[in-house]
Amino acid sequence: MSCLANLPDDLEPSIECATDIVNFGPVAALLTIIIGIPLIRLILRYVKQLFEKYDYIDEGIENFLFRVVSVTLWIVILLTAANELGINVAGIVAALGIVGLAMAFAAQDTIENIIAGVFLMVDRPFREGDRILLPKKIGSLYSSWGDVVEVGLRTTRVRSTDGVLLTIPNKNLTKDTIANFNHKDDRRLRVRIRLGLVPSWENVSKGEEIVENIAKSHEDICQEEPKPPQIVLRDFGDQEVIMEIRYYVPNAPLMRSTKSYFVKEILKQFEEQKVRLAYPTRLIMKEDIE
């Protein structure tokens, strides 16, 4: 017979009685929680140290896994305590499974975005601070380019070049091709400008000389690595020689500014030095009928 039967009159101070007390449902449940709390903290501390050791794991994935481990440990402790109280844990688990399934059906869009967020964090097509090409539906409204501000588990925040802060569901970024203009290995990018020149030797030669001098005079244009600026005569057009200017810039934000500089200088210096750009010519023939 348990020593707890005659409690508190006949509390026998023995190991057997202490075992009975510990095994008593409410006491066992309380001890489970008391021991479980510092145990959870200890495990989470080791998990955090493990993440810090392997620093190549994305911070977003670290936070997600840390929360999953934390919630799982709390569920285990609480279910263990409930079992000690004689509660049907199997029924609770089954009920939680049904509720979880119902929530999964109700929140399919959210779950899809979360899964897409995990893929973005694992594949890392872009990181915070990178300039990317926005999806067509978004880019057509708020500029085609944007700088990544934060990669979250459900959404990614991007600030467009117009200054608009966009919160984009992650599934929209995994369905389209991601163009990253600040990839980690090499941030230098090539810019191309095409123009048509009047097809004469003197005109084209003088145009090449001017364009070469323009390329050398701008500090943001790469002169050596990965390649020096190039001027290529691509082909004959209908009424022009097609010239293509190719040059590299150190990073994406300089693409537009250097291109604007080139266009302005070409117009200015071509006009000063009598180099003629080719323009479409429309021939209208009119026949008078008497």
Asked whether residue 92 falls in the same domain as residue 39, the answer is yes
Supply the pLDDT for residue 105.
Answer: 62
| Amino acid letter, 82 | A
pLDDT in tens, 270-289: 888 888 888 764 444 444 43
What is the reported pLDDT for 284?
A: 44
Q: Where in the sequence is the domain holding 171, given as residue range(s)?
A: 125-175
- pLDDT tens, 191-241? 888 888 888 888 888 988 888 888 888 888 888 878 888 888 888 877 788
Final residue in a domain of this structure, among 74, 106, 138 = 106
Residue 213: inside a domain, yes or no?
yes
Adjacency order of strands within the sheet including 189-197: 189-197, 241-249, 230-236
Please tell me whether residues 254 and 171 are part of one structural domain.
no
Among positive and negative, which fits the CA dihedral 119, 122, 127, 128? Answer: positive
Task: Name the percent of the chain lying above pLDDT 90.
Answer: 0
Distance CA 85, CA 89 (A): 10
Q: Is 162 part of any domain?
A: yes
| Mean pLDDT for all residues in the chain | 76
Task: Answer yes or no: is pLDDT of 160 > 80.
Answer: yes
200 belongs to a structural domain: yes
Residues 4-26 have pLDDT tens digits of 555 555 555 555 555 655 565 57
CB of 248 within 8 A of CB of 227?
A: yes
Looking at residue 205, which CATH number applies to its domain? 3.30.70.100
The reported pTM is: 0.50
Domain count, the chain: 3
Instruction: Tell whether 158 is covered by a domain.
Output: yes
